[in-house]
A = this chain, B = another copy of it.
Amino acid sequence: MRVGVLGAGQLGRMLALAGHPLGLGCRFLDHAPDACAGQVAPLTVGEFDAAGVAALAAECDVLTYDWENVPVEALRATAARHPVWPPLAALEVGQDRLTEKDCFRALDITTPTYRAVGSREELADATRAIGFPAVLKTRRLGYDGKGQRLLRDASELDAAWTALAGAPSILEGFVRFERELSLVAVRGRDGGFRAWPLTENRHRAGILHSSIAPYPDPALQARAEDQVRRLMERFGYLGVLAVEYFVSGGTLIANEFAPRVHNSGHWTIEGATTSQFENHLRAICGLPLGATAARGHAAMLNFIGRVPERARVLAVPGAHLHDYGKAPRPGRKVGHATVVGDDRGQVLARLAELEAVLG
């Protein structure tokens, strides 16, 4: 079977590497000739338009995407006559923070308070309803903290509104959270649903810094699984989906979902029986899902900007390096390392060793 992937970044690259042993060959479409998945599988350089999507579909059995901002309109005609998973409805809802939050609300999934903001006046109205601090976010194209401004008081409204260039936005109540968790799950043929253990995530400057799994809270695990299962059922979903949560006062507050494999699930390559990448492929190809149980404990550290010296990473006991083959650039995710072990304390100590390598 051949899997066409829109977007050839590191997520696509890891999908392709998971596909090779399964006999599932990935082929990529990306506008960047040096997109890193092209180092491990065939890449067509082109635009994400209807013609490009149709050409990829013509040589593949199923299409998927490694980037949640792929233009839905470019996919629509192909999706009417060709398998495209996850479903376009999930992609479309997730591309707009307003419809995403509306979707959570419709499913009784707790989210931060929010209001749509279409003008400077609506921003002022929204702050009166929600209070300070609050976060102004563009409805579209935000990721890794981009397109967001924290508002501490009314004096900051003008600057924030100018910074986001008056784009359609939402204002969200700022959540004073104890921690950030994510649940990565997969839904397969015949509605089969499996979730990996909750993962605790730490961000720096809006970018995921590290993930530690499993996060051992059976009650939160059950609640998150129930929510994510219902979210996937709403869309008749096939594939992997991730929901990012704040935990505040012991309550899960859903921040956003990503209809794709997710950075906070990278630890599953070594830390779970089946990785998110393999299960995404199994799901969209109609194959039986693999077990999502953790194998001991795992911690993942992102490499932002540059990959540290290879020998120093590999000298950390239990460390696995993932170099995405990308050119170094400030703020860019260029690789990660995962440490695994039987004991959580030992894994955390090794994560600290990895962080020391980062300097």
Contacts and interface: CB of A to CB of B under 8 A. Distances in A.
A268 to B, nearest CB: 13
B273 A288 contact: no
A23 B315 contact: no
Contact of A23 (B291, B295, B307): B307
Contact of A314 (B282, B295, B307, B340): B282
A320 B288 CA distance: 12
Interface string A301-325: 0000001001100110111111101
Interface stretch (A14-22, A134-142, A204-212): A14-22
B314 A23 contact: no
A71 interface: no
A50 interface: no
Interface in A1-35: 13, 17, 20-23, 25
Contact of A325 (B23, B273, B288): B23
Nearest to A342: B295
A39 interface: yes
A290 B273 contact: no
Contacts of A22: 310, 314, 321, 323
Of the listed residues A17, A296, A310, A335, the one surrounded by the most CB atoms of chain B closer than 10 A to its CB is A310
A358 interface: no
A327 to B, nearest CB: 12
- Report the contact-size class of chain A (Cβ under 8 Å from the partner): 20 to 34
A314 B287 contact: yes
A348 interface: no
A40 interface: yes
A318 to B, nearest CB: 6
Nearest to A1: B310
Contact of A310 (B23, B25, B273, B295): B23
A310 B314 CA distance: 34
Contact of A318 (B291, B317, B323): B291
Contact of A290 (B39, B40, B314): B314
Interface string A323-347: 1010000000001000010000000
Interface string A283-304: 0001110110001100000000
Nearest to A40: B20
A315 B188 CA distance: 13
Interface in A262-294: 273-274, 282, 286-288, 290-291
Contacts of A290: 314, 318-320
Given A20-B325, A23-B307, A288-B311, 18 more contacts: A17-B20, A20-B39, A20-B40, A21-B321, A21-B323, A22-B310, A23-B310, A23-B323, A25-B39, A40-B40, A286-B311, A288-B314, A290-B318, A290-B320, A291-B317, A291-B318, A295-B295, A295-B296
15 contacts: A20-B39, A20-B325, A21-B322, A23-B307, A23-B323, A23-B335, A25-B39, A286-B311, A287-B310, A287-B311, A288-B311, A290-B319, A291-B317, A291-B318, A295-B295
Give the top 7 A-B pairs by smallest Cβ distance, nearest first: A23-B323, A288-B315, A21-B322, A288-B314, A287-B314, A287-B311, A20-B40
